[in-house]
Amino acid sequence: MLDRPTKSLLPASVHKPIAHDSAARHVTGEAVYIDDFPEPRNLLHIWPALSPHAAARITSMDTSQVDSAPGVVAVFDASTVPGINDCSPTMGDDPVFAEGRVDFAGQVLFAVAAESELQARLACRESVVEYEIEEPVLTIEQALDRESFVLPSSTIRRGEPERAIQDAPHQFEGTIRNGGQDHFYLEGQAAMAIPREGGDMVIYCSTQHPSEIQLLISKLLNKKLHSITVEVRRMGGAFGGKESQASQWACIAAMTSEQTGRPAKIRLDRDVDMLATGKRHDFLFSYRVGFGDDGTIHGLFVEMASKCGYSADLSRPINDRALLSIDNAYYLENVVATTHLCRTNTVSNTAFRGFGAPQAVLCMERIIDEIGCYLGKDPLQVRQRNYYGKRTRNIAPYGMKISDFVLNEMTAELLESSDYYARRQRIRQMNAGESNLLRGIALTPAKFGVSFTMSYYNQAGALVHVYTDGSIHLNHGGTEMGQGLFIKVAQVVADEFSVPLEWVKLVETNTSRVPNTSATAASSGSDINGMAAKAAARTIKNRLIGVAAKAFGVEKDEVIFLNGSVIAGRSSVSFQKLAKMAQVACVSLSSTGYYRTPKINWDPKTMTGHPFYYFAYGVAVSEVAIDRLTGEYRITRVDILHDVGRSLNPAVDLGQIEGGFVQGTGWLTSEELWWDDNGALKTHAPSTYKIPASGDVPEAFNVKIWERGRNVEQTIYRSKAVGEPPLLLAVSVFSAISDAVSSLSDYKRWPAIDAPATPERVLMAIDKMRSNGV
């Protein structure tokens, strides 16, 4: 059994705040990304040509002038695909090249391979494409009106919400919408394909999902999977945007390489990247809630509609997670939530940190805020009133028992450390004056279910080699996008052998070493890859124990690994020496490891089961100040307490919490995707799309890992996933903004602000609040 206490002592690497494995190479520029690779001599450069129209039939496409442009070697389109023209993760509805029609502005029509990037880029302009333009479906409302969906709607239901709402002492209804969000990874999509002998090829790609790319290329080019190797050392950020969205570019590079016999590279610039790749889903929520005098929710009805874009992509599991997250931290006895997956003529929306949960939580927290306002209570009281219980009121709407709920304790701790009550009182007093500065404060919690909602993704593999000098080569299926996965897994392996961390070599993720992997996503990277690597290391360790026991004539349980040495009874030998002894004794020093997440089951028909292994929790208090006359605002203070179980690496985890929170804040405040009436995205670069800058993060940014955190499940060293959950805490900023605006009605009404709460939306809400509307 994996978690049996072992004969090594306290962990020397695990639980320590160790720097990112590449930190020293990041700061010197030595860390290499796809576009930094030495370029092969005869490398081709690829540029894609994009559709300017959102919905149109292609009546003709003449690329003869493109062909004859300077430097052009080949032009590829749907007609040149030997296999299946698709790069979708599941549904077969994402053509690599447009076929007969275009369904969003930014869709790839064809790709040009030329001797230089500039030549490829300029040649793209030489095509003559004629279209029969159709009326596009651009908004959620239009899609609902026309019943335009990528997949059928789904519903989660418990109890009798309609009656419970009706019978409750109080009811109201409302709506809230949120905008999408571009991932804005700093490194744009990139892939380079290198042909090898016998029709094989290697693809270097900035991707979270090498195995899927391998599969898609095999279908595109009619090749066996064993002919295609996909490798990634690191990504310059991903956040879900390189889960399915990296595939198309890798496919194009692979096809170019295959058909020209030359190495080929594609690297999207920022504008193409933002125009052609999917983003976070916009959602429109309508809700009706019934509740008691004390704020207890009796019944809830939520209808969600998500803007999926032109194809399904990962919209099904994203919408499922939205449904599964609508409760956030609250027990909903009677609830019905339905989600519609709207098909629009926009880029296909995709995975983005949180995967539908942040949107659902935004809606739920709005409802709670409004209940508080309605009852004249601090919304915090309503939150605490509705928190899941320990023994009762502890079953989620989908039937899973919540057995690790720690938000009561965490909330109490944060209220104390953030001085919440006193500050809230001061703010109310300040707002009572005639100032142009409005202040607001809010506490919001987050509960995030950890595991893939696509159940079979919850598995991982690893491959560990020990060399005869004691150095260790670590491979696993997870990919490094900056989240610190590699260092965490290395810490686990180093401690398994009780050797210094430097002895463990972290290497690129490669489909030929660890096959058939899941995407590195759903925050699960260290949970599953850490376990798989530990299993591989454990296998080798057990063999080494056998070697030592035999060599020194002791029982196996007398062999202890300690700080680079191995103690066998009264004898001691260095780890290196033992490795060499094993080789001489003809004992293998290499092993795979495998892990599957236990306890998970899910019935998509009834939307019930145990979809998550466990939950991660967090709580945040945010405070803002708004200029009543301009709608501009500043976050003045943030206090966060977040649960990562027993942290594998507190430095890495703290970085995930701080970074996730700020990223979520950007989504809800300054990041606005803006399409014109023809469906063309006009905010496709940092000059127009504003992610947070350093000045948007308050100096009073007090982020703590919850020291009492411990996973009740047997995860790797009792740690918890941390990638996505902290993003949800940004909702506290949105609530604080709303709280500040509400002050203008003397807290009698809650503003119906939509996200992102740009200065414009805030000012408009202020005007409505002052003119007695909502």
Partner 1 sequence: MQDRHSIRFLLGSESRELTDIVPTTTVLEYLRKVERMTGTKEGCAEGDCGACTVVVAENVNGKLRYKACNSCIMFVPFLHGKQLITVEHLKNRNDELHPVQQAMVDQHGSQCGFCTPGFVMSLFGMYHNECDTSRVAIDDALAGNLCRCTGYAPIVRAARQALHGHKPDQFDHREKQTLRSLSDLDAAPSVHIDSSQQSYHAPATVKELKQILKEKPASRIVAGATDVGLWVTKERRHLDCVISVSDIQELQSISVEKEMIRIGAATTIAEAMDTLSLYYPSLDELFRRYGSEQVRNQATIGGNVANGSPIGDSLPVLVALDAKLIISSAAGSRTLPAEDYFIDYGKQDLGPGEFLERIDLPLPIEGQQFRVYKLSKRFHQDISAVCGAFSLTLEAGIIQAVRISFGGMAATPKRAFHCEEALIGSPLSGDAIVRGRQALQRDFNPITDFRGSSDYRTRVAGNLLEKLFDELSGREQTIVWEADYA
CB of 104 to partner 1, least distance (A): 18
Site string for partner 1, 288-317 (x = CB under 8 A): ------------------------------
Bridge-based pairing state of the strands 264-267 and 44-50: parallel
Report the candidate in 483, 465, 487 with the shortest Cα–Cα distance to residue 474: 465
Between 152 and 433, whose beta carbon lies closer to partner 1?
433
**Identified binder of partner 1 from the candidate list 57, 226, 634, 748, rule CB under 8 A:** 634
Task: Give, in order, the Cα–Cα distances in Å from 587 to each of 499, 539, 579, 582.
Answer: 20, 12, 9, 5
Quick check: 768 binds partner 1 (CB under 8 A)? no
668-693 as b/e: b if 16+ CB within 10 A? bbbbbbebeeebbbebbeeeebbbbe
Nearer to partner 1, 170 or 690 (CB): 690
Q: CB–CB of 384/277 below 8 Å?
A: no
Query: What CA–CA distance (Å, rounded) separates 424 from 397?
Result: 33
Minimum gap (Å) between residue 677 Cβ and partner 1: 10
In 13-160, where does DSSP find H-type helix? 23-28, 64-67, 117-123, 140-145
- Positive or negative: CA dihedral 709, 711, 715, 718: positive
At 290, list the tokens.
Answer: 């019934």
Please tell me whether residue 23 binds partner 1 under the rule CB under 8 A.
Answer: yes
- Using CB under 8 A, which of 70, 693, 707, 712 touches partner 1? 693
CA distance 550 to 633: 70
**Can residue 26 be called a binding residue for partner 1 (CB under 8 A)?**
yes
Residue of 87, 114, 235, 336 that binds partner 1 (CB under 8 A): 235
Q: Of the candidates 132, 135, 141, 269, which one interacts with partner 1 according to CB under 8 A? A: 269
- Which tokens is 223 given? 């090749």
Q: Which stretch binds partner 1 (CB under 8 A): 6-14, 103-111, 221-229, 680-688?
A: 680-688
> Smallest distance from the beta carbon of 130 to partner 1, in angstroms?
24
CA-nearest of 561, 357, 586, 359 to 453 is 357
Strand partners, 129: 61
Q: Which of positions 488-517 make contact with partner 1 (CB under 8 A)?
A: none
- CB 695 to partner 1: min, Å: 4
- C-alpha 656/C-alpha 702 separation (Å) is 14
Is 724 a catalytic site residue?
yes
For partner 1, which is the closer residue by CB, 398 or 486?
486
Minimum distance, C-beta of residue 425 to partner 1, in the bound complex (Å): 9
Examine residue 481 and tell whether it contacts partner 1 (CB under 8 A): yes
Catalytic residue from among 117, 141, 724, 760: 724
What's the CA gap between 553 and 565, in Å, rounded? Answer: 17
- Of 151, 437, 587, 774, the one binding partner 1 (CB under 8 A) is 437
* Token output for 104: 């969003």
Q: Does position 670 bind partner 1 by CB under 8 A?
A: yes
Q: Which strands make up the sheet holding 437-450, listed edge to edge?
A: 437-450, 614-627, 633-642, 700-705
Q: Which of residues 96-135 bind partner 1 (CB under 8 A)?
A: 118, 121-122
Piece of the chain touching partner 1 by CB under 8 A; list 138-146, 280-288, 551-559, 683-691 = 683-691
Half-sphere exposure of 230 (CA within 13 A, CB side): 31
* Closer Cβ to partner 1, 185 or 291, answer by number: 185
Q: Check residue 15 for interaction with partner 1 (CB under 8 A).
A: no
Of 435 and 601, which has the nearer Cβ to partner 1? Answer: 435
Q: Choose one: 298-306, 354-362, 366-374, 668-676; the region binding partner 1 (CB under 8 A).
A: 668-676
* Whether 503 contacts 474, CB under 8 Å: no
The three-state (H, E, C) secondary structure of 702-723, written as one string:
EEEECCCCCCCCCCHHHECCCC
Is residue 655 within the footprint of partner 1 (CB under 8 A)? yes
What are the beta bridge partners of residue 290?
A: 171, 299
236 binds partner 1 (CB under 8 A): yes
Residue 243 is a binding residue for partner 1 (CB under 8 A): no
**249 near partner 1 (CB under 8 A):** no
CA 435 – CA 251 distance, rounded (Å): 58
Q: Length of the chain, please?
A: 774
Q: Which is nearer to partner 1, 365 or 623 (CB)?
A: 623
**Pairing state between β 297-309 and 335-343:** parallel
CB of 759 to partner 1, least distance (A): 6
Measured from the CB atom, the residue of 319 and 663 that comes closer to partner 1 is 663
Interface positions, 579-598, toward partner 1 (CB under 8 A): none
- Interface with partner 1 (CB under 8 A), residue total 100
**237 vs 564, beta carbon nearer partner 1:** 237
Q: How far apart are CA 339 and CA 411, in angstroms?
A: 30
Q: According to CB under 8 A, which residues from 158 to 187 bind partner 1?
A: 183-187
Q: How far is the CB of 616 from partner 1 (least distance, A)?
A: 18
Look up residue 521 and give its two tokens. Answer: 């996503």
Choose, by CB under 8 A, the member of 67, 93, 333, 767 that binds partner 1: 767
Q: Cα separation of 165 and 161, whole Å?
A: 6
Residue type, 466: V
Q: In this chain, which of 5, 27, 197, 502 binds partner 1, going by CB under 8 A?
A: 27
Site for partner 1 in 695-754 (CB under 8 A): 695-701, 703
Q: Which residues are catalytic?
A: 724
